[in-house]
Amino acid sequence: MSIGKRSRVREVVREVFRRKAFRFGWCSTCRSYVLRVSTCPVCGNSVKFIDATLPRDVRLAHEYDIEVTREAIARSCGVSSEYLDRVLPRSGTVLLNKVQYVDAADEVIVSGYIIGTRFFDLLRQEWVFRPQYEFASLIIREKIGYYGIVRGSRLSVGEVIERSDVLEGDLPSDVGYYVPLETRDGKFQGVGRVVGKDRLKVVKTWSSVEPLELEGTCTVDRIIEVNATVLEALERDSLKFIESCLRKYSTYVPLVTFSGGKDSTVVLHLSSQVGVREAIFNDTGLEFPETYRNVDDVASKLDVVVHIASAGDTFWNLLKKFGPPARDYRWCTRACKLVPMARKVRELYGSRPIMSIVGQRMYESVQRALAGRVSTGNPIIPKNILISPIYYWTALEVQLYAKLRKLPLNELYLKGFERVGCWLCPTSRLAEFKIVETSYPNLWSKWRGYLLKYARVKKLPREWVEYGLWRWRFKYPGDVANLVKKLGYRPSDLLEKTAITRCIITENIRIGEVHSLGIVMVNCCEMNLGELCKYLSKIPGTTTCKQLSDTVIVLENRLGKATVFSTGRVSVQCSSLESCFKLLTEIAKCIAKLKCCSECGLCTGFGEDSTRGCPVISAYVASVERQVREKTAHVRSTH
């Protein structure tokens, strides 16, 4: 996707979230959070709106979350346990609001106040807390932690403050910690990040506010009591939506997709209320023990049939060929989820169309916000649609509703997991992997052992494993690339060592009207040209494809001519460099089919075009295309 298109998509999503943003507030009279309305349903008083970061998919913090947050405040803010009980008590209800960050990060909300944001620092591999507003003011005024009174009369974001600019205070020596700041006249406050010895960089400012004074805590039961009408309205809307879909898609088989997580548990409960009694659970072979227990508990509680679509040992078998999955190389999703699901559905229902009832919510991600309440489903199940009854719900409302209806919830949430899924999923955050490492040492040691062995073979540093850098195969996000540099490595060097294939440009010249481009695809030696010729002959626009010997194939296409060698060397001659790229891409697809296909069934449902169905082949082709374009960029600009 181009930069311009990505920008337009982001703007569309921002507008969607602005228009449909979840609103909630705090009623000081009832000491409870109030959802979706501006006046308290119990006392009728106006509520204080909580301006949390969009999209405000707030959720309940559990005991583990509260404990690690208290530890982060004590460690990075210098606040003692005596004062922690005033700010973040172990009793009462705390909310977390996920914010955008390279790893785990949440705004922490206590009794209607956003007291700050917790971040999982990738370099430190620990939680760090950034206080703000009333809590920062409390730290400054009562001197209960790290703080600084600065010489100037104003604070500006980006300003660097030296130790000599601090009139009074207690500054930490650890780089990366956050320090509340106040001007000497007390009119402005802010927070600075330690960027060096006795140096702070201001990251946020505001006009001074009064110190935090909690108005008492609330319980989950109290929140449910105050918001019962809202929860019941959400329930009615979702039930009505399911019933309307059952009528509209009456020829489809209704089937709840059940993961063992909170969202799909609520959806299964709602669906069972309108007569849908069947669900399907995708056992990837990488589920947590708690998930298996939850599936059994929910099925028993709701008296529904849960079919199991098992991937068996597929992941570990394909791992030997494909290498570790990554966020931009998710072969595991198709191999361990989509294919087993499609096979089980065909076994149960043949070719009948399926209406999958899922627990997707718009506030979860950009992709789900754009998908809508009704969308296309599993691409390898014909006539499959997805409907999302709780599309407009927040995580908090799902949690409250589950407790209201006494539904069994997965114990993983109590251990600090935000979501339920495979225990080694590359989309997981490093913070969650630390929980896996601590709570499930046998599982983690198996995966870590594999990664270390893979790293040795690829000559990758140990940090590639320890800092979760294996979760990207083609490009590191900006913050991760910066982390790699801080660790003393070049991001491009690490990515090249894990590349699915490497390309060397051997020829890039133009003679008259003909452009000639030659490459060598490393690790493609001794290809079976007989099989490759069959694939090449099916390239659109091909007029001739002949195997001249055991080592050479010549091909003529409307784009140009090509010579392919068994060693992985390819030479193309076309009227333009762009045509060379297109023909090379088509040839790379054929080589990828020959080299990568393990007959795993991932491409099922896509006919001849397995590059669409197979994430490995798609990644191989994308890797070739990207490398060729990058390595010829300078030459292209001169012609």
Cβ within 8 Å of residue 36, ≥6 positions away: 22, 23, 24, 230
Please state the pTM of the whole predicted model.
0.88
Residues 78, 127 within the same domain: yes
Question: Is 50 exceeded by the pLDDT of residue 637?
Answer: no
Question: Same structural domain for residues 241 and 200?
Answer: no
3-state DSSP assignment of residue 297 = helix
CATH of the domain at 634: 3.30.310.10
448 and 559 housed in the same domain = no
Beta-strand pair 384-387/354-357: parallel
Domain-located, residue 430: no
Whether 527 and 488 map to the same domain: the answer is no
**Regarding predicted confidence, which is higher, 139 or 568?**
139
Whether 186 and 253 share a structural domain: no
Question: Which CATH number belongs to the domain containing residue 313 in this structure?
Answer: 3.40.50.620
How would DSSP label each residue in 79-134?
--HHHHHHHS-SSS-EEEEE---SS-EEEEEETTEEEEEEEEETTTTEEEEEE-HH
- Over residues 146-165, the pLDDT tens digits come to 999 999 999 999 999 999 99
Each residue's pLDDT tens digit, 285-327: 999 999 999 999 999 999 999 999 999 999 999 998 889 999 9
Where does 295-335 show beta strands of DSSP type E?
305-310
How many Å apart are CA 508 and CA 574, to the nearest integer? Answer: 12
Residue 435 resides in a domain: no
Please indicate, yes or no, whether residues 67 and 143 belong to a single structural domain of this protein: yes
Are 349 and 447 within one domain?
Answer: no
- Together in a domain, 259 and 293: yes
User: Percent of the chain beyond pLDDT 90?
Assistant: 73
* 349 in a structural domain: yes
C-alpha distance from residue 48 to each of 370, 384, 474 (Å) = 30, 44, 46
> Domain count of the chain?
4
Say how far apart CA 468 and CA 464 lie, in whole Å.
6
Q: Residue 188 falls within a domain, yes or no? A: yes
Residue 185: pLDDT over 90 = yes
Two tokens, residue 129: 């807390």
What CATH number is attached to the domain comprising 105?
3.10.400
Q: What Cα–Cα distance (Å) separates residue 15 from each residue in 10, 107, 338?
A: 9, 22, 32
Of 144, 177, 207, the residue at which a domain comes to its end is 207
CA 281 to chain centre: 21
Separation CA 370–CA 575 (nearest Å): 41
Structure tokens at 361: 């919510």
The reply to whether 581 falls in a domain is yes
| Residues 404, 450 within the same domain | no
HSE value, Cβ hemisphere, 13 Å, CA-based, for 225 = 10
In a domain, 233, yes or no: yes
Q: Residues 496-546: pLDDT tens digits?
A: 888 777 788 888 888 888 999 998 887 666 788 998 999 999 999 999 999
* Final residue belonging to a domain, choices 371, 398, 415: 415
Residue 287 covered by a domain: yes
In tens, the pLDDT along 232-262 reads: 999 999 999 999 999 999 999 999 999 999 9
Residues 13 and 161 in one domain: yes
SS3 of 479-500: the string is: HHHHHHHHCCCCHHHHHHHCCC
Q: Which pair of tokens denotes residue 136?
A: 């920062």
Is there a domain that residue 574 lies in? yes
Q: Can you give the residue range of the structural domain that contains 408? A: 227-415
81 in the same domain as 171 = yes
Choosing from 380, 415, 450, the residue where a domain stops is: 415
Residue 48: name the closest of 124, 96, 120, 109 by CA. Answer: 109
Average pLDDT of the chain is: 90
* Whether residues 261 and 345 fall in one domain: yes
Average confidence (pLDDT) over 42-65: 96
What sign for the dihedral angle of Cα 362, 365, 368, 372?
positive
